Structure 1
């Protein structure tokens, strides 16, 4: 299916229910919501389906008076960019508060755009509030919709208005260009706070798509950004920084953001673990990689901020990373700097390669030769028990991730170290760079297996 050709931006001041409306219209809890102003920061995209039309819905942070705070400035910039690229603007206000001075200032800004607009009067939870909307006519937006995003009242009628308005806009339909055959790779970008995750994606895009600052947890909602690289569709997911949360911590934002970050790891094909190479690695870095391996994701370890390192000895740092992440020696390490834009193209090529490795198929004949060579070099070692293991065969049982089954005689136990020896030989022979390999052991009493 071709990508949606329309975009609808949701804008308004803080705490009028924009993210709640966004989640309601896409029927998914994609945006983190709370009663605290400034919860949403980056603009958040999702595909919305209604009747026979698909369109992108864009959630934005609360706009307001000019602020000296760098993050608030970037939030407003993000919302302005969303309006600039939108085909339709939903200007959201709060019926319980009425048309505030801030609403009137923002309405003037919205009305400067020639783009069609709908005034969405939110939090209309009962008939009493339906009678209190006369004040909003002063904002100068003729098309209005009364809704309650929290319970869904009026949102169907709003979507009908949106579809009707979009169908009046003449736009060229996007060409499919064989999109059904384009490979889609979902990549989660994770790491501790302030290691440069959002900066990495901005560098890849060549534009300030995501808000960045020196403050921890600048990113809250996970953001999906789609790019194309060598005819591959890559979905980059920027996530909030993951760190160990204290049980006494009252930061609900952080807890929700970390949960969302881990959920994106679980849904990804490949994970990029971003680290700050100028600082020592931590237990939290190991914990993140452990989550990745449990989900059988592909993995790239990114040593960012290489420009801050004085003694640029890649061999020394590679050994340090390999020793620290001893259980993930198969993961490639990329030394980069988002400031200097080092090895960004190499990183994208590596994503495509790892995706291919996850789907690699090894023939039975090739595996039989590998097994014979492995046994000739080092005979199987037994684990617990007295019976010496005899290996009948080695076969691949699945891809994505690669999984293999090794069949041995019934009463024997194969030592774990020998399975690792087989895995290392497989990696040396066939590659599987950046991909976890699972080898299961099955026991057989069938003489035909010999």
Structure 2
């Protein structure tokens, strides 16, 4: 049974994201003094004393044209409340009840979800004035809290408990080695490449805010989903939509820097990263920088050319991108390059199929016997050099971890082994052991000399 859901709603800049971060126990949502930082709804696992629930951070509720960006943000907030078991309505104690607060209260009364009203920033005597004023909204007794300082937690607990406390079914812990575990996949790329549109097409709903404006997405939003694969089975996927990454020199705004850091954290946490390119613009230097970062972090990488349905000179474009990747990503040959259309959905099944295959290679453990038989053949076919006339002896290899596959080679004088020979071993391993185009780690280690001292 899934946990009950709490949706935090309110006008801009009342502290919704600060409260969300406190409830989930992490700085997941971006927080800034200016209003309108949050745009998409972000979900997380919340905990309040011994209550466990799903919590949704929503965009500030504004009375705007539905076609405008604030209007599209408001639609996401309305959808969150419709899905929630309880709406937590936040107002600002320092500013008191505003006309927009009254409008939100009227809207919430018309919804089916029960409402708990909390007065945030209620530190000191001023908070009590704001709390008393909130009675006028007619949504029950307001709770005074401070999301920033953690005050009012017990009162919030008592107010939410009737809507959250119910018999929970223990869910089995996720096993990293299980093939049935969700595939953690992050979709990254430059602004306006179509990342949110692609996520919406996968989910079959307008879950992410999209539009012609570049850089709409600010937070990295993780979404659990089941992919109906071509073999007829439902495969679990955790999709992460991220903010667009521009060249660092062009990033001057603090919020954009925070968004970029959030995207990089999402890359660190992913198993497979899809780098989405805009086929109408081709491959740019910034795309190669992002791809290089993904490989450096040891994540499996898929390149997807989006807007393929409107691309001109498709064949030469595809071949040009592949050639540029072969040259620009010399450390990892054969990265899959696929074509998709986020508008029509064409190519999505192939993209997810490739991602699951890459995850399997990325998680693979090679048996000790197979690994050392390959190692003996590789060293015999191409022995290591002998710098200064002294032979480098490579004795054996062992795999120390997976995700990505990581190996240690033991031998003498390994500190003098040239990088070219290490690349030879890695390329030979990928080919002969069929590890595929995933990042591999290989370190060299010499046995301790008992006479060193």
| Superposition TM-score, scaled by structure 2 size | 0.89
Cα distance, 1:382–1:120 mapped onto 2, change above 3 Å: same
Unpaired segments ≥5 residues, structure 1: none
Structure 1 residue 386 and structure 2 residue 370: aligned? no
- C-alpha displacement at 1:287, in angstroms? 2.3
Distance (Å, rounded) in 2 between the aligned partners of 1:42 and 1:231: 26
Unpaired segments ≥5 residues, structure 2: 228-232
Structure 1 residue 437 and structure 2 residue 435: aligned? no
The answer for the alignment partner of 1:427 in structure 2 is 430
Cα distance, 1:143–1:306 mapped onto 2, change above 3 Å: same
Distance (Å, rounded) in 1 between the aligned partners of 2:110 and 2:18: 26
The answer for the alignment partner of 1:244 in structure 2 is 247
2:94 and 2:127 in contact (8 A); partners too = yes
Match of residue 271, structure 1, among 270, 273, 278: 273
The answer for the alignment partner of 2:181 in structure 1 is 183
The answer for the alignment partner of 1:286 in structure 2 is 288
| Superposition TM-score, scaled by structure 1 size | 0.89
1:382 and 1:412 in contact (8 A); partners too = no
Q: Map of 1:367-382 to 2, 5 A cutoff?
A: 367-376=371-380, 378-382=381-385
The answer for the alignment partner of 2:94 in structure 1 is 96
Q: Map of 1:46-65 to 2, 5 A cutoff?
A: 46-65=44-63
Structure 1, residues 52-83: CA drift from partner, whole Å, max 9, x if none? 43211111111121236531121000000011
Distance (Å, rounded) in 1 between the aligned partners of 2:50 and 2:151: 21
Structure 1 residue 326 and structure 2 residue 326: aligned? no
- C-alpha displacement at 1:208, in angstroms? 1.1
Distance (Å, rounded) in 2 between the aligned partners of 1:49 and 1:238: 24
Q: Map of 1:18-37 to 2, 5 A cutoff?
A: 18-37=16-35
The answer for the alignment partner of 2:259 in structure 1 is 257
The answer for the alignment partner of 1:220 in structure 2 is 218
The answer for the alignment partner of 1:73 in structure 2 is 71
Structure 1, residues 125-149: CA drift from partner, whole Å, max 9, x if none? 1123303433322212014211122
The answer for the alignment partner of 1:362 in structure 2 is 366
The answer for the alignment partner of 1:299 in structure 2 is 301
Distance (Å, rounded) in 1 between the aligned partners of 2:296 and 2:242: 19
- C-alpha displacement at 1:387, in angstroms? 2.3
1:38 and 1:61 in contact (8 A); partners too = yes
Distance (Å, rounded) in 2 between the aligned partners of 1:179 and 1:403: 22
Distance (Å, rounded) in 2 between the aligned partners of 1:363 and 1:48: 41
Deviates more, 1:194-203 or 1:284-293: 284-293
Structure 1 residue 45 and structure 2 residue 43: aligned? yes
Match of residue 195, structure 2, among 182, 197, 211: 197
Distance (Å, rounded) in 2 between the aligned partners of 1:345 and 1:210: 20
Distance (Å, rounded) in 1 between the aligned partners of 2:360 and 2:379: 29
1:91 and 1:119 in contact (8 A); partners too = yes
Distance (Å, rounded) in 1 between the aligned partners of 2:102 and 2:2: 35
SS of structure 2 residue aligned to 1:353: helix
- C-alpha displacement at 1:329, in angstroms? 1.7
SS of structure 2 residue aligned to 1:326: coil
Cα distance, 1:213–1:384 mapped onto 2, change above 3 Å: farther
Cα distance, 1:173–1:231 mapped onto 2, change above 3 Å: farther
SS of structure 2 residue aligned to 1:195: coil
Distance (Å, rounded) in 2 between the aligned partners of 1:391 and 1:179: 38
Cα distance, 1:289–1:301 mapped onto 2, change above 3 Å: same
Structure 1, residues 221-266: CA drift from partner, whole Å, max 9, x if none? 111101134564322111111112338x641110111111112212
- C-alpha displacement at 1:177, in angstroms? 8.4
1:387 and 1:411 in contact (8 A); partners too = no
